[in-house]
Structure 1
Amino acid sequence: MTESFLTTLLPQLASGAAHTHALGFAYEGLEGDRVRMRVPYRHDLVGDPETGVLAGGLVTTLLDHAGGLAVWVALDAFRPIATLDLRVDYMRAAQPGRDLLAEARCYRLTRNLAFVRAWAFEDDPADPVAAAQSAYMVSAEGDSRTGANLKPRRAKDPA
């Protein structure tokens, strides 16, 4: 894996999109092929004000985004991807007032598909808040959606 991809592009991909920036996602690092991200606890991310527990949608978004980063690590490059399937199993509520971490690993990569496992936790990955299994579509090389190597589409005639 190229050093510039890890040190420059991967952290930008973790928090550079408008929604990930707004949610406070931060790249924590890479250990082997496992990507780690963090979302700091904030009161505006709470799903239940009475308990202070983070919103379930935040957990799902964190797991999905960490999964995408794991795909890019497995590809050793940025290529467009899209989530095809995402299953999240919630095991317990996140602890109020605590940052949430996520780790993800792409365990199978084919020409067009990537398969990922991810988990969210506070301190110990062995005590997860939630775990995810997901599949991502991987665009063919050269298909950067910037127009390179793409054939123009013809508009359909109105019926």
Structure 2
Amino acid sequence: MKMQMDVTSLTAFLAAHFPQVAGMFAVEAVGEETVIRLKVDESHLRPGGTVSGPSMFALADVGIYLAILARIGPVMLAVTTNATIDFLRKPAAGRDLIAKVRVLKLGRALAVGDALIYSEGGAEPVARASMTYAIPPK
């Protein structure tokens, strides 16, 4: 499938429309597998020094959203309608998180995506998320 948005345009979209969180994320690759980085800092940590569940959820949500937009273009009102996340293991302390995202189904009204989240440099995923987005009619 031809991509409608690339790394540069997704990054600009995030900065223009979601400036409150744009600095937390980096779009690293767009394609069959879209790669998004959460730039982990102190605000993402929970007691014990590991990345919090809400931070991992945010990475999955932003990552899948951007992977869908890469395919359909800048549709502001595509919204999450279902979300599931499994926390598999404790993320490595002090490392960014990397989401590897795939769009599993892209229909006219719904899109389904999957994200595997890794600690930077880690071989095993720390979380897995599946999300469905409603795509507004044109």
Bin the TM-score by the shorter chain.
0.7 to 0.9
Which stretches in structure 1 are left out of the alignment for 5+ residues? 142-159
> For residue 9 of structure 1, what is the aligned residue in structure 2?
9
In the alignment, structure 1 residue 60 sits paired with structure 2 residue 57: yes
User: Which structure: larger Rg?
Assistant: 1
Amino acid paired to 2:19:
A
> For residue 110 of structure 2, what is the aligned residue in structure 1?
113
Q: Secondary structure at the match of 1:47?
A: coil
Deviation at 1:42? 1.1
Q: Secondary structure at the match of 1:131?
A: strand
TM-score w.r.t. structure 2 length?
0.86
Deviation at 1:41? 2.4
> For residue 29 of structure 1, what is the aligned residue in structure 2?
29
Amino acid paired to 1:93:
K
Taking every aligned residue pair, what percent have the same amino acid on both sides? 24
Q: How many residues align?
A: 135
Amino acid paired to 1:92:
R
Deviation at 1:67? 0.5
- In 1, are the aligned partners of 2:46 and 2:52 still within 8 Å (CA)? yes
Q: Which aligned pairs between 1:1-159 and structure 2 lie closer than 5 A?
A: 1=2, 5-16=5-16, 17-21=18-22, 24-30=24-30, 32-48=31-47, 51-75=48-72, 77-79=73-75, 80-123=77-120, 127-141=124-138
Change (3 A) 1:123 1:99: closer
- In 1, are the aligned partners of 2:37 and 2:99 still within 8 Å (CA)? yes
TM-score w.r.t. structure 1 length?
0.76
Which stretches in structure 2 are left out of the alignment for 5+ residues? none
Amino acid paired to 1:138:
I
C-alpha separation in 2, matches of 1:139 and 1:125: 37
Deviation at 1:45? 1.6
Higher relative contact order (CA 8 A, sep 6+): 2
- In 2, are the aligned partners of 1:14 and 1:26 still within 8 Å (CA)? no
Across the aligned residues of Structure 1 and Structure 2, the Cα RMSD in angstroms comes to 2.0
Change (3 A) 1:114 1:21: same
- In 2, are the aligned partners of 1:82 and 1:138 still within 8 Å (CA)? yes
